[in-house]
Each structure stands twice: as structure tokens, then as C-alpha cells.
Chains A and B, each alone.
Chain A
Amino acid sequence: MATLTKALKPILGRQLGNTAKVFGASVNSQRGKPTYSPPPAKYGGRHTVTLIPGDGIGPELLNHVRELFRFSCVPVDFEVVHVDSASTSEDDINNAITAIRRNGVALKGNIETNHTMPSNHKSRNNLLRTSLDLYANVMHCQSLPGVQTRHKNIDIIIIRENTEGEYSSLEHESVSGVVESLKIITRNNSLRIADYAFRLAREKGRRRVTAVHKANIMKLADGLFLQCCKEVASGYPDIEFDSMIVDNTTMQLVSKPHQFDVMVMPNLYGNVVSNVCAGLVGGPGLVPGANYGRDYAVFETATRNTGKSIANRNIANPTAMLLASCLMLDHLKLHDYANMIRGAILTTMNETRLHTIDIGGQGTTSEVVQSIMRIIQSSGPLTTEI
């Protein structure tokens, strides 16, 4: 593989990183998102993407994604890596991490974390995020046409710090019956995520960034986060910056969500706020999420549900996973395919009789996917036979 990249170097004429990196596992070095180049296509113009099926509804939905990609002749090959959530050894997840380092991009389903197992058995999803340093979780929450919700026209981008905060998994029981759980906030990571948020806001032409915190209680920790956001904000005078305490934020979200534009926050608040927003636009089956690091990107559903109770019953909503795969195609600069699939999904969403159970209909997953394929076929010639 190293030799192949070396051979391609003069042909592609792009920055592939220094010599050391060519021998290393990482494919590309990207300083800032605007100048990012996707992993170079190999083997005749086709990208390779790591696919982690996960548990619950993950495998069936990702199968649908693969079917759809094959049908639409998308130049993406999937390298499937299974991760067994029940096994105590970390080999599976390490294999997955190595595969993602190799390919640079991944599409994953949620891996279940059994919380009755001992505490040294860490969350596999968390391990993946921290090992690959996927520091920014971005969720673009938009009201989809055709889906009945109590609030209309929501358009919020939530940027959540993805590696530290309350998810450090650092806990101990010094005195029996008293557990101390550490929440870590560092200046570096806070500056990094704030910078990411403002850059994204600028790129997408957004007017305002709101930092969500609880600095009145956690003065040092969230105080540091807030201060870092303020420092970064001063470098972006064209973008308004304000802050709001997390309890007030959630209350405002359920009454007046239209006041929010871009929101940036530490890990746990991000978890709660993104779930509230997902609930506002129609549920966990509709919103895709992306985890970005400096060198890697992993795409999944925004609310990271395993959906164990609806697994293998053909009733899961494939929209979130399919939209996540469109985000991945955008990331690989395959915009045409992304727009084609996205357009088909939104058209299908307008058909109320195809809605799955979670949005109040009676359609099945396969009906939805079939409909999407039909729409794609009717819009252009570049498909295989149905």
C-alpha cells in the first residue's frame, strides 16, 4: 500500500503529507477543513470506506446503504469490520481503528455498551472516538418536509466536543460507597472545538454561535470552556457570539427553537441537546451525524441508537443512515451522487404512506429503500437494473 501511494504521488500531484506519513498508516494530513483533500481514490477511481455494522438496526440499515450504493453505481467500496460488543478483548475495536486509519473515512452503526459488565469494559464507541481523536461531532438538525412535527422550519447546527468532558471514563471509588467521576476540560480542546465551530459557521454563512455551558455551578471547568469560546469569538468579528446556560437552553429549545443558529458545547450537554433537537424534528430515525477529526471522519446516525427492540423487523427508519452516507459522499467530494440520493430520500419523505412507524406511518424499511431506488432510476441513466 505504501508503494502504491508513492506511485500515485507524482500522478495526483497533491499534498500527501511528508515521507514519514507515507509509510505510516494515516493517509492524508489536513490542517484546516477548508483545505482538506479527501483520501485519494485508489484502484481506478474508487474510494474504500470502512464499514462497521454495529448492533441492533445497524447491520440491516448498512446493508441497505450498500445495496443502494451498488444500485446507483457509487464508486465506493466498503471494507466491513465486525466489532463484537459482547467480547471483553479490545482486539475487535482495535482492528476497526486500524482500518479507519487506513481508509480515512468510515460509516458505522452504534455498538452496544452493556452497562452490567464490569467498569473496565469501556464503551467501544467512546474508544473509537478518542483513539482517532474525532474531536468534533456535528449534527445539522433540519425539519424535513413531509414529516409532521410540532415545530416547523428548525435549522440548527450542533457542534459537540467529542473526546473529553464527562466522557473521560475516569472514575474511582476511593471510599467505599462514594464514587468520584472526573470531568476533564482542557484549554487545548476547548480552543480547538470553538475554532472548529466558528470556521464552520463562517463557511456555511451562519450568523451566530451560542456556547452552552453551566459555568454558574462549574466555574472552573465550564468557565474555561466559555472563556476559550470568547477568545476564539474575538477573531471572528463577523459572527455574533453569545452564551446560554444549559437548563435555559433546553427550555428555550422546546418552546422557541428558531432562536438558535449554531451551538457549541462540551460533551454531555451536547449529548442532551442533540437528542432534544432530534426529538423536535421528528425522532432518531431522521438525523445524520458526523464525527470529524483532523485526519479522519466517521459518519453515523446523530443520536447513536442501537435500536435493539426493532432490529431485524424491517420497521426501522433508514433515513438517518442514508443521509449519513450522503454526508460521507459529500466528504469524499462525490457531490453528484450525494445530491442524487439526498433528493430521492427527501422526495420519498413527502409520501406519507411510506413513513415508518417512528414517524407515525406503517411503511417498512424495504418499501422506503425501494421507493428511493425507483426515484433514482427515474431521474437518470446511471443505475444498475432494479
Chain B
Amino acid sequence: MSIAARSAFFHFSTRLQPWTGLKSTANNLKSPAVCCQRKKSSYTPPPAKYGGRHTVTLIPGDGIGPELLNHVRELFRFCCVPVDFEIVRVDSSASSEDDINNAVTAIKRNGVALKGNIETNHNLPPSHKSKNKLLRTSLDLYANVMHCQSLPGVPTRHKDIDVVIIRENTEGEYSSLEHENVPGVVESLKIITRVNSLRIAEYAFNLAREKGRRKVTAVHKANIMKLGDGLFLQCCKEVAAGYPDITFDNMIVDNTTMQLVSKPQQFDVMVMPNLYGNIVSNVCAGLVGGPGLVPGVNYGKDYAVFETATRNTGKSIANKNIANPTATLLASCLMLDHLKLHAYARMIRKAVLKTLSETQLHTADLGGQGTTSEVLHSIMQEIQRGGPRTTEQI
């Protein structure tokens, strides 16, 4: 391997390759993809550039996205986190797809992104596709992982919830393939493929094994959609056969949602197609305290995009200083973990959780009267108390 020949390309992964022993085909080296990762466990983050600082794409989005992501940047600057943000704005009302294509290119360049939700106006014609979806499918972010945990200090009706939801992120009901052959009759296609189902099942079992989880439950509706969800279920069973240490069972989606509202503690890891994933993750988010508390991650083979789990724009509470920053901050901690900056991640996460246990700082969605800036201030104070590595002014 001639390093000099490859240095013409704008990526440094070749230098790492002999050391990490990662396989990659010749084709991959020529692509803009930064790194080739077969499985998450052997993944190497995008190498730090420019003196040890990572560059992460930041997409502000709409609604509460911009203000919360500003807070994240403030906090990172305060804690001296070695991450620089490349901001790419996406205009949700523009019908051209240039904005989102720029964002996709930026993410391909940096490998990691932190984003707010981009609004999809459903009064616009159907040719105007959801920008969030375009992003997910262009980057093939096939796994959406949401770790739903009861947080201390937040009063909820259910206690001790700890569920990991893995949702297929690219196909299923979200194919945007619809047509109206006969006026007044709309056909909407739901696509399930063997390849994607095997891939997501493999991801789920891998993750379960890594995190030491005991059980994976597949959620489906195969009694009605026999071919579609039947294929998904069959793929999960095939993959399960290769992981005998992990229990596998399945449950129909209606029974799942009913069990979730009565006995959510019975679930451990759940894997499911796109739409059920959307509904189940929102139910779980509601169970642990609301959309302001849970972070979510979209993983692909080469990229990772971090956002809030329930992908709300929060238009009605935008710019009023009442939004709950916890979900976005925890998402940024997940991002720091992904970049292997574990010390920073732990520091910020601890401060966030400590602030959450203070009831007088709870924001409106948790039943309190605190403002976003008060919460941030408290987190910064916590961090400063915890160690020396902060900038001067709070």
C-alpha cells in the first residue's frame, strides 16, 4: 500500500489501516467515506484533524433546534471539548433539494452530525419529500437506536424502565412510494426487504450482546401483513439462531403497546420495522417523562447522526426559553462517546443528570417552571465544581 499515492485523497484512514487491521476494498478507499466499519464493535471514529480536534456537522433545523444546539455549542466551548462544529443550514420551506444535499455532503465529509428536526410541511405537494428522511436514506442510516431509561428525579407513573429500541430507519412504510391510479383510491407501498431486515436484526443482536442484554423482542404484525412482516420476523429468527446466548421472542405490535403501558419492565431490547418503531419509541418516551428527555441516534455503516429520539420540531415553544435541553444535551454526550471522548461525555452527562434531580429546575414539560437558560447555567456550575478544565467565565 503506497501511502503517498493515497494521500492525494482527502482522508486519513489509510494511515490508520495498517495499525487497526481493518479490511477495506479498493473501491472504498476512493470514496469520500472516511472509514470502513464492518461491525460497530470494531469501528474507529473519524480521525481527529487539525491538532486533535474533531469536526462535527451541525444542522440547526427548525423550532427549538437552533436554540438548543446553540446551548450545546456554548456548553462545549465552556468545557473545552475538542469538537468544532460545521454549521449547515437547511431551509425547510425551500422546494429545492440543494440545502439538504449540502448537508449530506458535509456529513459524508465529517462522518458525524448533530441535528435538530427539520419541519415537513404537509400542505406542500407530495413531490416535496421530508428532508429528514432524505438525509437518512442518502446516508443509509439504517439503525435508529433509542435507549429509554427512567431518569432519577423525574416523576413518572412507571419506574425503572430500561428499554433499548432498535428501529429500521430506511424502508418499511416510509418509502414515500404512493400513487393514485384511480381518482379517490391511493395506494401506499410498504417495502420490506430481506437484506435490510437481516441487517437490522444483526445490528440488534450485536448491540444486545455488546451491552450484555438478555432478550430481544421482535415487534411485528405478521398475522395481517403475512408476507411483509412475515419476512421481517423470519429474518429475525434466522439471525437469532446465531446468538444462542440471547433469548428471542416476538410480539404483535398492538399487544406490545398495551403491555408497554401496563408492564414496561418486561421489555429489554426491541427490534422492529420503521412505523412500529416510530410509535413504540414515542410511547416509551412518554413513559419516561416526555420528548424532552430522550436522545436518539441514527447509525449507518459509515456515518452517525445524533438527535432527539422523538424528532419534534417544537414549533410552539420555539424561542421562548422554556424548551427542555436534556434530550439534545444527552444526544451530544452520545456523540462524544461515539468519538471516543468518554471523559467529556461522562462529565457532561453527570452534570445533566444531577441538574435533572433538582425539581425547581424542571422545565414546563416536566411540570416545573424552570427556563432553559437556568438549566444550562446549573449544568455549567456543576461541571465547574467537578474539575478544573473549563473556561473562565460562566
* Residues of chain A whose beta carbon lies under 8 Å from any beta carbon of chain B: 113, 115, 119, 123, 126, 150-151, 166-167, 169, 171-173, 176-188, 214-221, 223-224, 226, 246-248, 250-255, 268, 271-272, 274-276, 278-280, 283-284, 303, 305
Contact = CB atoms under 8 A, between A and B. Distances in A.
B185 A186 contact: yes
Contact of A172 (B158, B227, B230): B227
Interface string B202-225: 000000000000000000011111
Which secondary structure characterizes the binding site on chain A?
mixed
A56 to B, nearest CB: 13
Nearest to A184: B187
B193 interface: yes
B259 A279 contact: yes
A215 B312 CA distance: 15
A295 B176 CA distance: 37
Contacts of A303: 254, 258
B173 interface: yes
B180 interface: yes
B4 interface: no
Contact of B190 (A166, A251, A275): A166
Nearest to A150: B157
Contacts of A272: 253-254, 257, 279
B286 A253 contact: yes
B38 to A, nearest CB: 21
A110 B59 CA distance: 49
B23 interface: no
Enumerate the 9 nearest inter-chain pairs by beta-carbon distance, A residue then B residue, closest first: A187-B184, A177-B194, A279-B261, A254-B286, A181-B228, A171-B227, A220-B178, A221-B188, A251-B286
A279 B185 contact: no
Interface residues of B, number: 59
A214 to B, nearest CB: 7
B214 to A, nearest CB: 21
A232 to B, nearest CB: 15
A166 B184 CA distance: 17
B126 interface: yes
A165 to B, nearest CB: 9
B191 A166 contact: no
Interface string B170-186: 00011010111001111
A251 B283 contact: yes
Given A220-B179, A220-B180, A251-B282, A178 B227 contact: no
Given A123-B224, A178-B194, A181-B225, A215 B122 contact: yes
Contacts of A248: 282, 312
B317 interface: no
A214 B276 CA distance: 12
A180 B173 CA distance: 10
A119 B130 contact: no
Nearest to A276: B257
9 contacts: A169-B226, A179-B228, A180-B189, A220-B126, A275-B257, A275-B258, A278-B258, A303-B258, A305-B255
Contacts of A113: 223-224
A181 B120 contact: no
Which secondary structure characterizes the binding site on chain B?
mixed
Interface of B: 120, 122, 126, 130, 133, 157-158, 173-174, 176, 178-180, 183-195, 221-228, 230-231, 233, 253-255, 257-262, 275, 278-279, 281-283, 285-287, 290-291, 310, 312
A179 to B, nearest CB: 5
A253 B258 CA distance: 12
A250 B279 contact: yes
Given A216-B130, A220-B188, A247-B279, A179 B231 contact: yes
Contacts of A246: 278-279
A359 to B, nearest CB: 10
Contact of B223 (A115, A185, A219): A115
B309 to A, nearest CB: 11
A251 B227 contact: no
A255 B188 CA distance: 31
B89 to A, nearest CB: 21
A254 B258 CA distance: 11
A224 B261 contact: no
A123 B178 contact: no
Given A171-B226, A179-B192, A216-B122, A221 B186 contact: yes
Contacts of A219: 122, 126, 176, 178
B282 A247 contact: yes
A254 B259 CA distance: 12
Given A214-B173, A254-B287, 13 more contacts: A115-B230, A119-B230, A179-B193, A180-B190, A183-B187, A186-B186, A218-B176, A221-B188, A268-B275, A271-B254, A275-B257, A279-B262, A303-B258
Nearest to A215: B122
A254 B231 CA distance: 31
A169 B174 CA distance: 19
A185 B183 CA distance: 11
Contacts of A215: 122
A78 B328 CA distance: 59
Contact of A185 (B186, B259, B283): B186
Contacts of A223: 122, 126
B227 A252 contact: no
The interface centre, meaning the residue of A183, A216, A247, A253 with most chain B CB atoms within 10 A of its CB, is A247
Nearest to A213: B122
Contact of B262 (A167, A182, A268, A283): A283
A271 B224 CA distance: 12
A115 B312 CA distance: 36
A270 B174 CA distance: 19
A200 to B, nearest CB: 22
Contacts of A187: 183-185
Contact of A254 (B193, B233, B261): B261
